[in-house]
Amino acid sequence: MLPVMEHFYTIQGEGYHQGRAAYFIRLGGCDVGCVWCDVKDSWDLSRHPLVPIEELVSHVEQTPAKLVVITGGEPLMHNLDELTSLLQSKGFETNIETSGAHPLSGSWNWICLSPKKFKAPLPGILPHANELKIVVFNRSDFEWAEKHEALVAPGCKLYLQPEWDKADTVTPLIIEYIKQNPQWELSLQVHKYINVP
């Protein structure tokens, strides 16, 4: 059983898999405490019903989805071995969006690591990240990005993403930064522009 805040079939709006159809499972619980978090309702674990893993997977199977994204909250507050094994055994691709602040569990086709200053990632996850996504809220986040760039494996995709409410201010800074540091790319939360979940 896992605490589920919501689950829905949509398109992935950000990062490397942007634009792909994806079934999202948003798990409840987060102790990271980002001041700008846009899913604060996820934080309190007790507000989200426990759902049997088989039931969750059966919802995914009712759609044409190939890709399943596990997000939160902070999904690694829960052991995800059983959920991801079942999904992969049924042929689904498993992606996770995590701050890395809890031990890595689960079997993943893609790990999107988005480290947060409010509760830093555990070092063990960094070499496993396929994608490093830094949310830029102010200028100091570029330093935060460089610190983690040095710790991920070669070939890890590097993304800078404007914090939604600060986008007008920080997007021009990100563009300039990327022009000077072209190993980084811009990630936009396209789902918010096109108004899908």
165 near 135, Cβ under 8 Å?
A: no
69 near 24, Cβ under 8 Å?
A: yes
* Per-residue tokens: 61: 């199977």
Which of these segments, 6-14, 56-64, 72-80, 172-180, binds ligand SF4 (CB under 6 A)? 72-80
Which of these segments, 27-35, 44-52, 79-87, 142-150, binds ligand SF4 (CB under 6 A)? 27-35
Q: Is 21 in the site for ligand SF4 (CB under 6 A)?
A: no
Nearer Cβ to ligand SF4, position 71 or 84? 71
Distance CA 93, CA 96 (A): 10
Q: Is 37 in the site for ligand SF4 (CB under 6 A)?
A: yes
Nearer Cβ to ligand SF4, position 33 or 172? 33
Nearer Cβ to ligand SF4, position 30 or 134? 30
Q: What is the four-CA torsion angle of 165, 171, 173, 176, rounded to 10 degrees?
A: 170
DSSP-assigned letter for residue 139: T
Judged by CB under 6 A, which of 1, 19, 33, 186 binds ligand SF4?
A: 33
Closest contact distance (angstroms) between CB of 36 and ligand SF4 is 7
Judged by CB under 6 A, which of 42, 94, 95, 130 binds ligand SF4?
A: 42
Judged by CB under 6 A, which of 102, 116, 148, 157 binds ligand SF4?
A: 116
Distance CA 76, CA 56 (A): 17
Sign of CA dihedral 82, 87, 91, 92: negative
Beta bridge partners of residue 112, listed in sequence order = 97, 131
Residues at the contact surface with ligand SF4, assessed by CB under 6 A: 30, 32-34, 37, 39, 42, 72-74, 99, 116
